[in-house]
Structures are given as structure tokens and as C-alpha cells.
Structure 1
Amino acid sequence: MDAPLFSFDSLSPDCSCADFLLAYSMLARREQRGFARVAWVCEKWRDYFGDRPVSSLTRPDISRYIDFRRMHGLSNSSINREISVLSAAINYAVKRWGWNISNPVSGLYLKMPEGRTRWLTREEASRLLSVARESRAIHLHDFIRLALNTGMRRGEMLRLEWRRVDFTAKRILLEGIHTKNGKRRYVPLNRTALDALRSRLHFRDQKVPGSPWVFLQKNGKPVLQVGFAFRQALEKAGIEDFHIHDMRHTFASWLVQEGVPLSELRDLLGHSSITQTERYAHLAPGGLHKAVQILDDFLA
């Protein structure tokens, strides 16, 4: 059944939360990346507040919703994502529709734990690559090599097309539609990453000439999942507590340990701000020791 059509400009702060959030989810479908997630979250808010006027929402109302979602086992990060959708919807109405209401979500975001920074040692990486080379998943070895040497996300690699690989300039182009934050970035390629890509190109030319996909199956379709083969390789290599995304952390951790500045790492990872990159600052070689050594001569 098709959703009802709205005249968005006719909505007022006194309309129901159900109508307002349905309208906003329809706008998200037209204007935003990740609209499916926005629509799903809007439905949760609609179920909870129903016919309540938007203008009647208060901070205690939002707090009760947070407690309600906690009772259902959601993590702080998941709840924060949900309240960010409501906050964005109200801010949109204020800025675009001229609503004169305050945002009850303001200041209610939950404290987040430090991000995960599990990374491989060189010896662990060597074991993993050795096992992956023998895997029945013929793309796994090159997938891991590319991940460890570029810091690209899983989706960025699995959706990678040959037209965005430049062997001459030694870089990959990621347009905004391919990246998490919607911003274009170039990914520089070192020798190992280039070798992994040439290996995939040889496979493509032998099996499915002309296919646009870097990671593809023998039938020409793109590889959609690598999780099962990756977990098998981890088990055979004796590596615990490690996920695919942790290869991105490994890339970052290795570079910081070798003295690469955080500002350069930020650009390599495609972070929106240096704050996201600072989780790796503690790995910088001898940085804090050099700082306190400045005082050695003060009392000499």
C-alpha cells in the first residue's frame, strides 16, 4: 500500500508525531543516503508517540523513550542513532518549515564507550594471510591484503569497480555515494595493494572478461559476503577477538606506530574530523616520553 501524499508546508507543530515522522521519512527517501534506516527509526518513534502533537514533546518524554529502548536491550550507540533521527527531523522542520519550537532531544545523547581499536601484530597478519592464500574463497587473500594496506571499509572494497582504479596514478577513487560520510576521497595504493588488485584483474581476465567488479565470483556476479570465509581463516590462524573492520584499525595502528601524523591518517581514513582519528594517538612512538624529557634539564 502506497504511503499517503503530504503537503509538507501545511504541516504544523501541532500535527501528530505519526504524521510528522511519516512525512520526514518520505523526505529522507528523496533527499538522503541511508533512507531505509531513517524510515525504520521514524517508525519506532511513531509507534511510541502516535497521535501526540509534536509541539507537546518534552525532555522527560524523550528520557522515557530512552529508558524504554534500554529495556529492550539497545546499546547506547543504537539509542543515540535513534534520537539523532528525531533531532534531525525537528531541526529540519525548524529550518525549512519555520516551526517555532525547541528541540527536546538537545543534551540527551548517551555517553559512548571508547571505540574498538583491536589490531593485528605483524606475526598475526602473516599467519592470517598464509591461511587466506589456501582458502577456497579465492578472493579472500587479495581482500585482506587490500584492506590491510589501504584501510578501506568492507563495503568500499566489495562495491569497487575497475573504472575507479587508476594503476598509473596508483590510487582508487571513492565518490560520495561509496563512502560512509558522503565525501569523495582518493585512496593511495602501495606496492602490496597494487599486487592484490593485479591479482584480481588477472582473475577477471581469465574467468569473466569485461566484468566491472574488482571482487567477483566465477559466474561474474560481485562478491557480496566475505564473513564466513574470513572467520574460518581466523580460526585456522588461531586469531581471536578480531573482526573484518578491525583490519581498518590495523592499517591505522601500524601507520601511527611508524610515525605517520594523525592529520595524514585522518585523510587516509576519510574521517570528518581529527577527533575520530585521535583514538590512535596513544600508539605514536615515544611521543609522550619525548615531551616529558624536555624537563630533564630544568633541575640539572
Structure 2
Amino acid sequence: MRHISDEKSAVIVPLTRGQIFTLKELADTYMACYQGGDRQQATRLAYFVTHLGTKAAHEIDGDDIQDVLDALQRRGRVHNRGGASREAITLVETHKPLKPASVNRYRTTIQALLTWGRKRRLMPKGWMNPVTDTERLPEDNVRTRYLNEAEYLRLLKASKASYWKKLHVLIKLAVTTGARRGTLMGLRWADVDIEGLRAFAERTKNGEPFVLVLQDDVAKELKSLRGASAADELIFCGRNPFKPMNFEKAYHNAMANAGIEGACFHTLRHTHASWLAKQGAPLLAIADSLGHKSLEMTKRYAHLCVDSRAAMLSRVFAAAA
């Protein structure tokens, strides 16, 4: 019996429908039932368990998965000095980057685990696999996917026709602020200063407070949406004002109607950063806008800064010639 637990004698307790269980518990049960021939399956799952193991499996969202995949890329390749036959695995960093295909295998592994849980009716009704809201890396070195202006306008038009009337405002906020999905879905009316064009996200993924800057048109649309909503109600809720809307179906319908392929909700965050880079914003400013703690994750947009940097250098040194 294979499982993720570090304890050799750990007992795997069967999971039941309606039970709240952690990702680690789901992974242990999955590996106990695993009949596949992929020897690295348990190792890849263990990486996700290290980061998300104590979190309720059904509460894990696309941001959580993307954060782990990003951390995986930053970590790079590792070498197991312990050897395949050792009980104690000793992983040593090689300081070599992981190939996109390797990162994608990690993504496929966590997707398979969560899909397994859904097929066995272990997840709540209406639950959707959060991995679908993350990006599969292109394996031919194509640049990070982001929307161009025409795609963005088509998406806004399609989202305004959605059955969920708040969708187009959510999309505008995602593109103009660069905020993560989890940050946006956790916003309450009390967090928004419409007149001051600010929104205050108290809890971000890196644990620090963050201020979102609102554009005039977005602030006006938020004001029209509020109505009689109480201050402690979520902005992007469904029928339950204290529960985030499950908008995956509405979003994917809008994407399809707009004729956009190869993009997920996280692509909107990339769009924000990419547009800033193309307009000449320095990487430090882009990192600040995204809430990155370091420039490492922001460097993926560096290639978009080349044209604006070339224009700047031309202005500076042409004048000195």
C-alpha cells in the first residue's frame, strides 16, 4: 500500500461523502488505491501535500494550485541522493530549471487526484476542479499567454450577456488590478472605498495587506451593483451573500462566446502585467502591482519591456549624440 504519509505504519481511513478532509487525507487514500505504473506519482503528490496538505481539499482553489506550481518552478530540479530503494529520501537542489513538461506533469498529477475525488462523490455538489483555472505551460517555449486588446473587448462584451450580471465587473477588476481570483472573491463591500478609488484586500496569498487601485469606470459599476447590500456581504457572491459565486461555467461560456482559446481566469492576471510591461512599466513597478515579494516571478514579463526600453534608450542617447 502506497501513501503520502511519512509514517510507515499509518492507517488509511476510508473517506465518505459529506466528510470534510484535508488534501493529505485525500492523497493518502488515492495512493492506497492507485494501480497506475507511474513511480513518480507519490513524489509529485508529496510536493503538493507539503504546501497544501492541511487545507480542506474542497476549499483549494486555482490560486493555491498556481502558487505551488510557481514555487516548483522557482525550486527547479532536485536530485534524490537516497536512491530509489531508500526509505529516507534525500532531495538536493541542482539549481537547474525544470522543463515545462515536468511542471505540467505535476499539474496533471494534482488534477488526477482531485478528479478522482470528484468521481467518487467525495467533493461537494457543484464543485469544480480548480486545476482547470491554472495554466498548462507551453512545451515549445511560447511566451506566457495573455489577452490582447481585441480579445479583452470581446470577452467584456460576451460577459455582459452572461446570466451572472457581475461577471464583466469581475473581469475588469482582474485585468485592471492584477489581483488574484481568491483576493477578488474575498472582497466585501466594507473593503471598498468607491469615492477614493481603492479596495483593501486584508488577506493576500503572501499574508500581507494589499491595496487595489480602482479605475473610474470600475468604481462606477461597483457603485451601481451594490444596491442595498450590507457592508459585510461579499461583492462577488451568488444567492448567498456570504458565499463566493461559483462562476466557472459563466466564465468559460463567455470565453467560448468571445472566441478565445488557451486562456483561463489566471490569464487575466498575466494580461495586467503584460500590458504594463508593453507600456514601459519597470519590472519593480509590475511586481508591486502584482503583489510579488521578489522579482523572480515578474521576470517572465521582461521580454515585453524590450520595445519600450529600446524607445527610452533611443531618446536618451540620441539626444547625447
- Normalising to structure 1: TM-score of the pair? 0.62
1:1-300 to 2 correspondences below 5 Å: 17-18=6-7, 36-37=22-23, 43=28, 68-70=39-41, 80-82=47-49, 104-107=90-93, 111-113=98-100, 117-175=144-202, 178-202=203-227, 205=228, 208-209=229-230, 212-218=233-239, 220-287=241-308, 289=310
Deviation at 1:151, TM superposition (A): 0.9
Do the aligned partners of 1:158 and 1:214 also contact (CA within 8 Å) in 2?
A: yes
Q: 1:20 to 1:105 in 2, by over 3 A?
A: farther
Q: 1:17 to 1:232 in 2, by over 3 A?
A: closer
Q: 1:290 to 1:81 in 2, by over 3 A?
A: farther
Deviates more, 1:285-294 or 1:136-145: 285-294
For residues 169 and 187 of structure 1, the distance between their equivalents in structure 2, rounded to whole angstroms, comes to 11
Unaligned runs of 5+ in 1: 1-15, 23-34, 48-66, 87-101
Output the aligned Cα RMSD: 4.0
Q: Deviations over 1:156-177 (max 9, x none)?
A: 11111112112243222222xx
Q: Deviations over 1:179-218 (max 9, x none)?
A: 222222111112133133223213xx2xx55552111234
Q: Deviations over 1:260-280 (max 9, x none)?
A: 111111111111211111101
Deviation at 1:236, TM superposition (A): 1.0
Do the aligned partners of 2:188 and 2:231 also contact (CA within 8 Å) in 1?
A: no
Unaligned runs of 5+ in 2: 12-20, 33-37, 54-87, 104-136, 139-143
Q: 1:17 to 1:288 in 2, by over 3 A?
A: same
Give SS of 2:200's match: strand
For residues 196 and 212 of structure 1, the distance between their equivalents in structure 2, rounded to whole angstroms, comes to 17
For residues 207 and 23 of structure 2, the distance between their equivalents in structure 1, rounded to whole angstroms, comes to 16
Give SS of 2:145's match: coil
Identity %: 29
Do the aligned partners of 1:158 and 1:222 also contact (CA within 8 Å) in 2?
A: no
Do the aligned partners of 1:142 and 1:197 also contact (CA within 8 Å) in 2?
A: yes
Tell me the number of residue pairs that the alignment of Structure 1 and Structure 2 aligns: 227
Higher relative helix content: 1
For residues 82 and 110 of structure 1, the distance between their equivalents in structure 2, rounded to whole angstroms, comes to 22
Q: 1:17 to 1:221 in 2, by over 3 A?
A: closer
Do the aligned partners of 1:127 and 1:237 also contact (CA within 8 Å) in 2?
A: yes
Larger Rg: 1
